Structure 1
Amino acid sequence: MSREHATPAAHGDVIPFRKALRVWLTISLQTFGGPAGQIAVMQRTLVDEKRWIGQRRFLHALNYCMLLPGPEAQQLAVYIGWLLNGTRGGLAAGTLFVLPGVIALLILSAIYVAFGESGVVTALFAGLAPAVLAVVAQAVVRVGRRALTHRLLVVVAVAAFVALAVFGLPFPAVVAAAAVIGWALGRLAPSVFAHRAEDDVLTEAPPLIADDALHAEPPSRTRAVRILVTGVFLWFAPVVAVSTIFGTNSIFTTQGTFFAGAAVVTFGGAYAVLAYVAQRAVEVYGWLAPGEMARGLALAESTPGPLIMVVQFVAFVGAYRHPGDLDPWAAALLGAFLTTWVTFIPCFLFVLLGAPYIERLRGNHALTTALTGITAAVVGVIANHALYFALNTLFESTTLTEWGPVHLRLPELASIRPLELSITVIAAALIFWRRWSVLRTLGACAILGLAFSALAAI
């Protein structure tokens, strides 16, 4: 593509659809490390390298997705896919974003059920997880450098990080407070936002595609009703089908309704709902044995895609052990696919339903300043995700310190993992010093994990 700003093609695509599909597939193979790593990959690919979307437009979409229940990174993929190629682009981007993870976790779940924990998977994870830390660190630096363009916005980001990491405040409350602060700053200190007028202030080079060339289907009541009805039907039709075929008390009906409900309360990402899912899966339904949720989480973290994908592991194992009249393997596959379906369909529904209205409000000053406050808080949110991931990757155990309003999780220094720490340092050197791509760095670190594990076994 030339360096001139693109204009829409006749069919509404600003990027050839096949070209976009190849890029989304490449992104999907790199989405390790939870939402922080996934946002980092999209930031690097779409904003920095391809320059298909400007930084402000990227953050505007991310702000909306942060307000939604469900995996914000996958929803961001749907939103940007919609901007580039319309509804089919959003559907394709969101599907490709999760497809490699669905397939990989399905295979690992089958290996787990058949053979127990896999040493090869453990070795690969030993190399991949530390590498992801370097990717996340890069995301915090890049997004922070471009979004925190005023010292007051830096204060908002730090306050959001402290609120989440130190005081354990609810994610929706932190985001709501950031929006109010942004709105107030817009009224009381408009100079905070004066230098944000152009994309080229926030990026090293302007995007190749002008904002007004991006697909922006105007909102309409007819379109909203059509998407709402279609989305709700697709969301619940499989649950109604399994309830009719297998009965309302079957494990498939129970899993479908349970995970459909969980999909709309996952504000703040997967970590916010995992404790609830684990408690119900183990103590109420008996799908997993105690401790198996942690193993499923490790498998989900070692595969690309949203971490909430762990629910697929839960459903697979639970249905395999309680198959009813079905063959256990058939039951496991049905439970896994049903759970994945009801978990991710709402993501498409929320984004495709709301995106045209959010785009229409891009020029609203009050909304823009409120979303700028959320943008600053997002930097703190990503940093908090990075801290959580680092603690669980670099240390065997952590302790929760509670003192008044303080709820701070600290590592036990004696439990540090030297292998993971060493690979983290190597990955950071490859990304920040050698400027390696994310995929190349992940591959090298996975090989290191396998090599170190093989040496340890000798």
Structure 2
Amino acid sequence: MSSDSSPAAQEPAAQEPDLPAKSVPPGLLSLFVAFARMSLAGFGGVLVFARRAIVDQHRWMTAEEFNETFALCHFLPGPNIVNLSMVFGARLRGIAGGVAAFSGLLLPPTLIMTVLAALYVHFGELELLRRSLAGISCAAVGLLIAVVFRMMTPLLKKPDGVGLILMLAVFAAIGVLRLPLQAVLLVAIPLSVAVTYVLRRKVAA
């Protein structure tokens, strides 16, 4: 009995990191504070800190759920991270949750940027400031590359040849061939949906 029950007791614990730790959705204030912290820490891009807070720290989403939600936000008009705050907040707490996450994301940096813009008007011509901004740009690119690799981890754990081919095709069309983004999306979205639908039907059959 003990040898049979021990692995069974250990199995959920081994799977626990892949599941959200909290079954009760966060409150409106928690959403506001969490996204406010993301925005205040997000020098170089909020996406890096948003994924860390949502997936790793609070475990409000799994890595796969975050990727799927962010992919949806990519195909909506507007800044991706702003779309993510609205979709994520609304998913957990309805419209009020979306407004709370949206406000937490935009309110603190808006106040800070207003002050910095006033200072930049007076000191923007300083050479030291120009060089500092150039260095910050390099750090921002590094942060973005890091989070891209983190988001690709679930895809690499579950290899999907067709999905990787579509991803590389979109990258080549936009990044290499410089094709218009709207035209690429108009082709890539229905193609991805159709391929996924066909593959799932084959698996179900």
Q: 1:131 aligns with which of 130, 135, 139?
A: 139
> What is the aligned-residue RMSD (CA, Å)?
2.8
- Cα distance in 2 for partners of 1:186, 1:66 equals 18
**Percent identity (aligned):** 27
Alignment match of 2:195 (pick from 185, 192, 207): 185
Q: How is 1:164-203 mapped onto 2 (pairs within 5 angstroms)?
A: 164-190=174-200
User: What is the distance in 1 between the residues matched to 2:99 and 2:197?
Assistant: 38
Shift in alpha-carbon separation, 1:6–1:100, aligned structure 2, 3 A: closer
Q: Distance in 2 between matches of 1:119 and 1:101?
A: 25
Matching of residues 36-185 of structure 1 within 5 Å: 37-119=45-127, 121-147=129-155, 149-185=159-195
- Say whether the 8 Å CA contact 2:21–2:60 is kept in structure 1: no
Q: CA deviation at 1:5?
A: 5.6
Distance between the aligned counterparts of 1:186 and 1:129, measured in 2?
37
Residue 20 in structure 1 maps to residue 34 in structure 2: no
Contact kept in structure 2, 1:40 and 1:135, CA below 8 Å: yes
Deviation of residue 155 (structure 1)? 1.3
Structure 2 Cα separation of the partners of residues 72 and 29 of structure 1: 17
1:317 aligned residue: none
Q: Which secondary structure does the structure 1 equivalent of 2:46 belong to?
A: helix
Q: Deviation at 1:163?
A: 0.7
Q: Select the structure with the greater relative contact order (CA < 8 A; seq sep ≥ 6).
A: 1
What is the letter of the counterpart of residue 73 of structure 2?
Answer: C
Q: Considering only CA atoms, is the larger Rg found in Structure 1 or Structure 2?
A: 1
Q: CA deviation at 1:150?
A: 0.9
Three-state SS of the structure 1 residue aligned to 2:41 is: coil
Unaligned runs of 5+ residues in structure 1 are 9-13, 195-458
Q: Structure 1 length as normaliser, TM-score?
A: 0.36
Deviation at 1:73, TM superposition (A): 1.1
Deviation at 1:164, TM superposition (A): 0.8
User: SS where residue 53 of structure 1 aligns?
Assistant: coil
Contact 1:111/1:118 (8 A) holds in 2: no
Preserved contact between residue 22 and residue 59 of structure 2 (Cα < 8 Å): no
TM-score normalised by the chain length of structure 2: 0.74
> Gapped runs of 5+ residues in structure 2?
1-15
